Structure 1
Amino acid sequence: MRDARPAALGVRPAALGVATATTILLAGCSAPVQLPDPPVDDATRALCTALVADAPATLLGSPRRATTGSLAVAWGDPPITLACGLPQPAGLTPTSQCLEVNGVGWWSQDGVTGTVFTTVGRAAYVQVGVPNSYGNTGDALAELASVVADHDTLLRPCVG
């Protein structure tokens, strides 16, 4: 299964290393963050489009940035990323440990330069990548919980 974590944290497989390096280099000059849209069905596209449109203008005090995909959002430098409609990540199972933040369940994966969080028990997978430089990653999840809950239907609660 393909690794679907956001490229901005440098946690994709080596085959995509060039894209990751490009993202990191471009981030310094405020170019759009490289977050291409995954293939999604019409219902997921509608859900993700609404979620992205309602995402906050700032996150952890960092302004929103342009992205290459329409189903993603980024803030700050280095970018905090939110990508919607990604496939289920490898390693995420019904029994994976789950952290609940303001009513939204998340599964976490530590990367080299940050942590990637994936929603659990929702209609679409939403992933948030938070670089280590932002410190307490739970603060980003707390700020994003309401927009995720408003748009991504809860199918089963977090049980971890």
Structure 2
Amino acid sequence: MSLHRRPLRLLALPACAVLLALAGCSSGDAEARVGPPPTPPADVAGLCAALHEELPEKVAGLARTTTRPESDLTAAWGGSAIVLRCGIPKPPKMSDPKQDGVEVNGVGWLLEKLPAEEGGGFRFTTGARLAYTEVRVDKEHATDAGMLVDLSAAIAKTVPVGISSY
């Protein structure tokens, strides 16, 4: 991912906004099934636990949802409309300089449109942080680029800049 060579600023979000429209405000399901990533190293798990405590109660107008199994590595909003997993291994696409990325409030994100067989929607993955964090947004709710603003603030506060060895 080439965030260091051609960083995109918050101004790049209008391009994402073309792909995304206005988010619904319903809280969705009361619970979301979210498989946590494989157990990360202790230092990464600690960063994820700190992030978990700082995550907002609402993202893109959607209320936070209880995840099952409960884990400091996962969070969800609007049922499973927006799902976060912290402490994932480095995605292979992160090394591809041709991948699209955006920078929101100092947090770089790899942007991937998910294929129909994975339900459509989008996957955003943080880069240049000591813990990789993935956010999946279903196609019905992939409508508000402001969600990255909501999540970037918590990530910037809790997950330091750096290159994760995991």
TMscore range, shorter length: 0.7 to 0.9
* TM-score normalised by L of structure 2: 0.70
Q: How does 1:18-97 map to 2 (within 5 A)?
A: 30-67=30-67, 68=69, 69-93=71-95, 95=97, 96-97=99-100
Instruction: Give, as a single letter, the amino acid of the residue that structure 2 aligns with 1:76.
Output: G
Tell me, yes or no, if structure 1 residue 124 matches structure 2 residue 136. no
Displacement, 1:97? Answer: 3.5
Q: In the alignment, residue 42 of structure 1 is paired with which amino acid?
A: A
Is this contact kept in 2: 1:33–1:74, CA < 8 A?
A: no
Question: SS where residue 133 of structure 1 aligns?
Answer: coil
Distance (whole Å) between structure 2 residues aligned to residue 29 and residue 65 of structure 1: 7
Aligned to 1:153: 160
Q: How many residues align?
A: 129
User: Which segments of 5 or more consecutive residues in structure 1 lack a partner in the other structure?
Assistant: 1-27
RMSD: 1.9
Deviation for aligned residue 1:29: 5.3
Aligned-pair distance for 1:102?
1.6
Q: Which stretch of the first structure deviates more once superposed, 61-70 or 118-127?
A: 61-70
Question: Partner of 1:134: helix, strand, or coil?
Answer: coil
- The Cα of 1:37 is off from its aligned counterpart by 4.0
User: Following TM superposition, by how much is the alpha carbon of 1:80 offset from its aligned partner in structure 2, in angstroms?
Assistant: 0.3
Task: Give the Cα separation in 1 of the matches to 2:29 and 2:85.
Answer: 21
Matched with 1:107 is 110
Deviation sequence 1:93-119 (CA, Å, 0-9, x none): 062442111211000111132100000
Distance 1:51 1:78 in 2: 19
Change in 2 beyond 3 A, CA 1:118/1:38: same
Q: Which has the higher contact order (CA 8 A, sep 6+)?
A: 2
Partner AA of 1:128 in structure 2: V
Q: Of Structure 1 and Structure 2, which has the larger fraction of its residues in helix?
A: 1
Name the SS of the counterpart of 1:39 in structure 2.
coil
Give, in angstroms, the shift of residue 38 of structure 1: 2.2
